[in-house]
Structure 1
Amino acid sequence: MNITIYAVGKIKEKFYRQAMEEYEKRLGRYCKLKIVEVADEKTPDHASETENRQIKEKEGERLLKQMKDGSFIIALAIQGKKLDSVAFSQKIGTLGLHGVSDIGFVIGGSLGLSDAVLSRADMLLSFSDMTFPHQLMRVILLEQVYRAYRISSGEPYHK
């Protein structure tokens, strides 16, 4: 299985990069992982709704240009479906059984994802009703993908 994470912005904090590198290493035995970063837009303080929408649209265009045709795209969005870890593992497994060999996860910038990206997605997934920094979300997503593979392989994992 090929897993691609499409994300807005670069990870600047060393501790996030270290955590991501650890999960990338661990995932190497289960899947081929690729992380694609696109540039983020500067968001001015007290930006108007119009400015926020334009920023999301620019970031969204960059994300859409990177997505492979034929990939099953899962956009991380607060309004998405919530799954526990076992159900998430089963979803990834089911996709593979149905011939999907490329799964792309999309993480937006600080303002979220554009309507165009949400429309392109085959599934919207929410990890929580809470808002997380998009940098931390990458670490959380990698951990959950790793956990999903451990579950589907019948290997131990913390509940």
Structure 2
Amino acid sequence: MLSIELWCVGGLKEPYWKAACAEYVKRLSAWAKVTVHELREQPLPKDVSIAQIQTSLQAEGERLVAALPKDAYVTALCVEGPQISSEALAQALNQKMIAGHSKLCYLIGGSHGLSETVKYRADEMLSFSRMTMPHMLARVFLLEQLYRAVSILHGGNYHK
């Protein structure tokens, strides 16, 4: 069975984000084992400097890379990645499975994104939009798009 892991810097506090994520995890569970991992975001002072942000990103990145399964295919969600359609995501998912990748990890950064170390470790990068979105929304959007992609691959009627 396909294993999909989301590795997220920062947690979900509001119940509506948790409920939305739980719904798509439930839907995906028919076709994949889905696990969501949350890593604590590095604390930063209110008046943060660029140097402090970089130090924080580096620390988060080191923890994230150390926690990733060694045999996983890793996709970093970041603005530098290409933007693709839902159909293209489905085809990319299919190609990964055909190539023998049974464990897929998707990385979502915290409020300051992902470190260069994480991007370097990733097998690919993907962008949802050039617009900035909160990591909570990115998590819901990713789960929904993964569900949509799997539904497309299985001939479901969710994608119209």
TM-score normalised by length of structure 2: 0.96
- 1:87 to 2:88 alignment: yes
- 1:154 to 2:152 alignment: no
Partners of 2:129 and 2:45 in 1: how far apart? 27
Shift of 1:34: 0.6
SS state of the match for residue 106, structure 1? strand
Aligned to 1:63: 64
Q: Which residue identity does 2:122 align to in structure 1?
A: A
Aligned residues: 159
Shift of 1:45: 2.9
Shift of 1:49: 1.3
Shift of 1:38: 0.7
Partners of 2:63 and 2:133 in 1: how far apart? 22
- 1:53 to 2:54 alignment: yes
Aligned to 2:25: 24
Q: Which residue identity does 1:77 align to in structure 2?
A: C
Question: What percentage of aligned pairs have identical amino acids?
Answer: 39
Aligned to 2:146: 145
Shift of 1:46: 3.3
Q: 5 Å matches for 1:92-131? A: 92-131=93-132
Moved more, 117-126 or 43-52: 43-52
Shift of 1:9: 1.1
CA deviation string 1:32-62 (max 9, x = no partner): 1011111111232332111110111111112
Partners of 2:10 and 2:83 in 1: how far apart? 25
Aligned to 1:12: 13
SS state of the match for residue 73, structure 1? strand
SS state of the match for residue 78, structure 1? coil
SS state of the match for residue 74, structure 1? strand
TM-score normalised by length of structure 1: 0.97
Unpaired runs of at least 5, structure 1: none
Unpaired runs of at least 5, structure 2: none
Moved more, 70-79 or 45-54: 45-54
Partners of 1:99 and 1:9 in 2: how far apart? 30
Partners of 2:136 and 2:152 in 1: how far apart? 25
